[in-house]
Amino acid sequence: MKTQTIFPTVRSVRAARGAGVERAAERIGVARRGEFALAALALRIVRAALAAGVFLIFVQPLHAQNFANWTPEQAVQSEQAQPALKTGLDSSAEPLKDAQGAPSLKEQPQIPAAATFSEEDLKGLSPEELQALMGTGLIPQPQALPAAEASGYTLGPTDVITITVMRHPEVSGEYPINNEGKIQYEFVGDILVSGLNKEEAEEVISRHLSEYIVSPEVTVKIAQYNSKIVYVVGEVAAPGKIFMRGDTITVREALMQAGLPRLGGITKKSHLITPSDSGKPKKKYIDVYALLYQGDLRENDTMYPGDVLYIPPTFLTKVMRTISPVAAPIGQAAGATTGVNVISNPTRTGY
């Protein structure tokens, strides 16, 4: 009895397992068929895109070539057809005016091609409106700066310039300016460039090279600024020459390059001196403290080549400098007598 009961149960379990496996296989097959369908659709889209790209690559040049290869008779016929096309557009715009209440193309105001807006007309326009007018020719273009204003440094003796001539390296290189204000240039000779800025020097060199080279393209760069110097002396961190990169320099810029004033200097009453051959130099007092630490730009005077900025020492600084040469030997002698100054003897060892 037990055997008869067990066998039907085993058969039912096996049948249920077989049905589950079949259903799972059917689901997997459906999923795979869906994946294959999506892959086929994606492949068709890629093929269509490639076909469209090939069509545009080959058809567009042929279309442009058709217009490029027009005969004169075809061009004349096209020009004769343009007035008729314009008339048709105007006539088609009339019903649009009646339907929408908008003016026709013929009634729209036409701006003359040569008309331009003045600066007063442009004052009331917004940035978007100005951007829309750019490139239409209705806004006057700003004029280029003259050659004398394009560069703020004029060349002088001891400067070094780099000359580059396009496609001609044999006449390119660095050239120092001698004391006569000239450069010794290959194939041409001496060329006077002192007193000229970079743009003017390019024109002069191009004019000399045009006798040997057809339409020379010359570029001049300043490699070393040596000809214009101001002096910062006195109580500063690095007194000496300041090489200028322009025809002028401000007091603040000169002090920055000289390392700023020391604590022992009179910054409230510094001296800006302009030398003179007559023996009467011009002197002006500059409040360096107010300029540097209080932001008073009224004290930021302009210095020219040869000017001297002097930061004088305070009275206490003068006294200390006077006493130091006398007091130093006495201090060393006292230290040697008492044996305290052991550091002053560099040959002593034993520690």
CATH code: domain of residue 271: 3.10.560.10
Q: Please report whether residue 127 resides in a domain.
A: no
What's the CA gap between 21 and 167, in Å, rounded?
81
Q: Is there a single domain that holds both residue 288 and residue 241?
A: yes
Q: Please report whether residue 36 resides in a domain.
A: no
Q: Is there a single domain that holds both residue 259 and residue 235?
A: yes
pLDDT of residue 146: 42
191 and 179 in contact (C-beta within 8 Å)?
Answer: no
Q: Is there a single domain that holds both residue 208 and residue 282?
A: no
pLDDT of residue 85: 47
Q: Provide CB contacts within 8 A for 288, sequence distance 6+.
A: 251, 255, 261, 267, 268, 270, 299, 311
pLDDT of residue 191: 95
- Output the six-digit token pair for 47: 């093929």
Given 224, 254, 272, the domain boundary residue is 224
Q: Is there a single domain that holds both residue 245 and residue 206?
A: no
Q: Is there a single domain that holds both residue 220 and residue 267?
A: no
Number of compact structural domains in the chain: 2
Q: Is there a single domain that holds both residue 205 and residue 239?
A: no
Residue found by looking up tokens 């070393």 in the block: 224
Q: Supply the Cα-derived Rg of the chain in whole angstroms.
A: 44
Q: Is there a single domain that holds both residue 193 and residue 249?
A: no
Q: Please report whether residue 140 resides in a domain.
A: no
Q: Is there a single domain that holds both residue 178 and residue 238?
A: no
Q: Is there a single domain that holds both residue 210 and residue 268?
A: no
pLDDT of residue 54: 58
Q: Please report whether residue 308 resides in a domain.
A: yes
pLDDT of residue 164: 95
Q: Is there a single domain that holds both residue 169 and residue 209?
A: yes
Q: Is there a single domain that holds both residue 255 and residue 281?
A: yes
CA-to-CA dists, residue 93 to 69, 102, 106, 110, 250, angstroms = 34, 9, 8, 16, 67
The CATH number that applies at residue 165 is 3.30.1950.10
Q: Please report whether residue 269 resides in a domain.
A: yes
Decide: helix, strand or coil at residue 273.
strand
User: Which DSSP state fits 265?
Assistant: B
311 and 317 in contact (C-beta within 8 Å)?
Answer: no
Question: pTM of this prediction?
Answer: 0.52
User: Which DSSP state fits 142?
Assistant: P
Q: Please report whether residue 205 resides in a domain.
A: yes
Q: Please report whether residue 282 resides in a domain.
A: yes
| Cα end-to-end span (Å), the chain | 111
| Residues of the domain holding 260 | 229-316
What's the CA gap between 161 and 172, in Å, rounded?
11
pLDDT of residue 32: 65
- Residue pLDDT tens, the chain, 351 long: 444 444 455 556 456 566 665 665 566 665 566 666 777 777 778 777 777 665 555 544 444 444 444 555 555 565 555 555 455 545 544 544 444 454 444 444 444 444 455 656 655 665 556 555 554 555 554 443 343 344 579 999 999 999 999 999 999 999 999 999 999 998 889 999 999 999 999 999 999 999 999 999 999 999 999 999 999 999 999 999 999 999 999 999 999 999 999 999 999 999 999 999 898 999 999 999 999 999 999 999 999 999 999 999 999 999 988 888 887 787 777 766 665 554 444 444 433
User: Which DSSP state fits 152?
Assistant: S
> 49 - beta bridge partners?
none
- How wide is the angle at C-alpha 210 spanned by C-alphas 209 and 216, nearest 5°? 80
Decide: helix, strand or coil at residue 109.
coil
Q: Please report whether residue 8 resides in a domain.
A: no
Q: Is there a single domain that holds both residue 207 and residue 274?
A: no
pLDDT of residue 337: 65
pLDDT of residue 328: 78
Q: Provide CB contacts within 8 A for 98, sequence distance 6+.
A: none
